Amino acid sequence: MNFTEEHVWIRVEEDEVVVGVTEHALVEMGEVTFVDLPEVGTALVRDDAVVVIESDGETLEILAPLSGEILEVNAALENNPALVGDDPLSDGWLFSMALEDSDQLDDLLDAKEYRALVG
């Protein structure tokens, strides 16, 4: 698993990546009440705004960690957005995407680097 400095995690699975938000990013949000996900087929450029997560009084905008195309979104979040906060590294994943340039993975943080970032 890799990470961005903006508290997004990325898990490589064969020819695609799965993307979610870290627990650290959600710590002060409280219970997640709404998640606005991108549409399948959306083309992303790294750092595009791609997901909005809302809780009572807080809004978190998630930026695309890599360039590519959305392959799938986590439809379970539509009926249960709290999954993002309850299980951010597993059931609370946000979307999967095909990479435009796998070399972008080299710019991500590994687990040790991310732990050092968040202290």
CATH level 2 (architecture), domain 2-102: Beta Barrel (2.40)
pLDDT band at 105 (very low <50, low <70, confident <90, very high): very high
Mean pLDDT of the chain: 94
pLDDT at 28 exceeding the cut of 80: no
pLDDT in tens, 62-90: 999 999 999 999 999 999 999 999 999 99
What is the model's pLDDT at position 36?
97
Mean pLDDT of 6-33: 91
In sequence order, the 6+-apart residues with CB closer than 8 A to the CB of 80 are: none
Distance CA 84, CA 89 (A): 8
Q: DSSP letter string over 50-117?
A: EEEEEETTEEEEEEPSS-EEEEEE-THHHH-TTHHHHSTTTTT--EEEEES-GGGGGGSB-HHHHHHH
What is the model's pLDDT at position 80?
96
Domain boundaries along the sequence of the chain: 2-102
Mean pLDDT of 91-100: 96
